[in-house]
Structure 1
Amino acid sequence: MPERQDLLESIALTTADYRAGDLPTPTAQHVDRWVCQFGAEVQLPLLRELDHVIRQTYFSRAKVKCYFGRQITLAEISGNDPCDYWSSTNFLNIQQHGHSQAEILKLFGEALRTLCGLDINQCGADGGDFIYLDDVLFTGRRIFTDLSAWLADAAPNQGKVLVLVLAAHRLGEWQIAQRLQDCAIAAGKNIEFDFWAVLRIENRMIYRAASEVLWPAAIPGDAALQAYMAEEQQFPFAPRPPGGRLEHPIFSSEGGRQLLERELLLAGMRIRSFCQTPSRALRPLGFSPFGLGFGSLIVTYRNCPNNVPLALWWGDPEAGPNHPFSKWYPLLPRITYEQHLGPNDLEF
């Protein structure tokens, strides 16, 4: 079987349960339709790198449940008697926007019932730790919104909160930990916060050489891109020094990474050009208040975050021919909060 077909089928298989029940199961033809929007000369190397990356960064439902099972029995969290620990744990269901927490709680509950025979809805006791579950921490804004409101209202005067996620981006985790501690102090409460993640993604400026998000080492000589970057005065772009040592093997090689960064960046610029007045947060490598975009590559079976490059999720094949969404075919069509908010609403 030709390499191209192998790669198309591999990417489709990796993402087979993406939004299962909402969308048709991904096929090689679906992946091919997406990649054909790129130049013919880059399609095969782009597929090679994407196939490698997405196998590292895609969280299927089975993988999520497996990871939760490991966390449940992790001695650093639950001690020597995990079932006793979890039976007294208070699970928070306080997310103000979206459904990710409710769905993750359900999945965690399945793992908890399998391993300990516990009903997650019956867990909780005075003096037990509090658990805030979610899928991915990007900037941490959503987690801060939920927990700061809880601190001001329902939180006890003393306790411990464990924030447990599948993946956390290090800058957001560091910022949110500081802000939540300050918020607890301001509320006059002695609350300790602890963060746990299966995968921690480096994205801090000072460590950009080892960054694990898309952070271009070189900028293509594209006039529209150069003009776009010149508009950014407050936070001018700082390229990534190439060849840094990464903690996780997200990319196959420096060359493969640079190709992926370049092609998704240029495709994101094309997508921005489809919009008459694009939001400032709509950046080619994903929603962000500054730079070329957030650049995350983390996707779960539930949804593709808008912090991921536009070229992976933007567009709608069912949009009318005059609508901007009709001009790009998405690999991972995303759903916004309840599919009721506009496509440019931030989801951090």
Structure 2
Amino acid sequence: MGQGLTSEAKRGLTMVSPPLIFALLLLAAPLLTIILFSFWTQDFLTINRTFTVENYTEALTDPLYRTLLLRSLRIAGFVTLATVVLAFPIAYYISFHVRPERKALWIFLITIPFWTSYLIRIFLWRVILAFDGPVNGTLIELGVIDTPLPWILYNANAVVITLAHAFAPFAILPIFVSLEKIDRSLLEAARDLGENAVMTFLRVTLPLAMPGVLAAVLIVFIPTVGDYVTPRLVGGSGGTMIANMIYVQIFDLSNRPMGATLAVFAMLAVTITLAWAILHVRFWVHLNDRVGGGLAGLGLAGAAAAVDIGILWLILRNGDAWFGPAGTLGVMAAIMAGGAIAIAIFLPKGRWGL
């Protein structure tokens, strides 16, 4: 018996080894290299391999880096919110209202943007949002505005619009897959028990579709934080993100260790932010369920969300005076990570699968 298990384990290890080695070479090795570089310094054209935390000290205390990092998280958050909110109705319509033989055609149409280069799509949005572009021209012709709108190009708004369009298919597809997996008999049972269409959606459809929504959030949020091309072409000075500064440090200033440090900071910020958001949503839903839902549950969950977000906003606004520039980010990271860990340990997954 033991020999059989050993042989089976060896066969399994043999099958897993090639992709494992491939993943280690292409994922783990570059990541470890970046982390290692962040503890070195640039000495003109050579790398000083003496271990130091000088880069981290500069990254924590320089307000420019913090501003770019927070702006990147804010833009990515708005892009994710806009993309998922707009993608859900499309996925819902295809899943519940399109005849089965035509669903493949709709999915095919959704993937059409992938046929063109990402760079070309960005340039097209640059033309569409330009001062003399179709948006401003149409609004002026209709008499809605007298002069071109100055806030739709070369700022954060243009970055959000462009990225939301670019990542829309990535949000629609996982949500559609989750909706397709829902057993329609559950919806019939809810209606037979007296639930109206709205409550059936809120209590049955949306919780069961949450894995797809969560996948869409991860697929959209993570790459948009590190996007470089879109802010460079349509963002202007007000839409510059952390990836643009990483590029400047590595290629323009030839300071690879500092660029690696900013990359590590960005990865940590994304991880902590996503963990805080996902696990706090679990906490807010738990509070809603504890009081039976309805207006009372929504009010309690909303109050808890306001308190959680308000604490972070208060620290971000006044943290420099209380803790210093470096301490502000450290305190925020400790509160966010600590809260997420506590919720993950003491609060099991609820009916929403979060």
Structure (1 or 2) with the greater strand fraction: 1
TM-score (norm 1): 0.24
TM-score, with structure 2 as normaliser:
0.24
Structure showing greater radius of gyration is 2
Higher helix share: 2
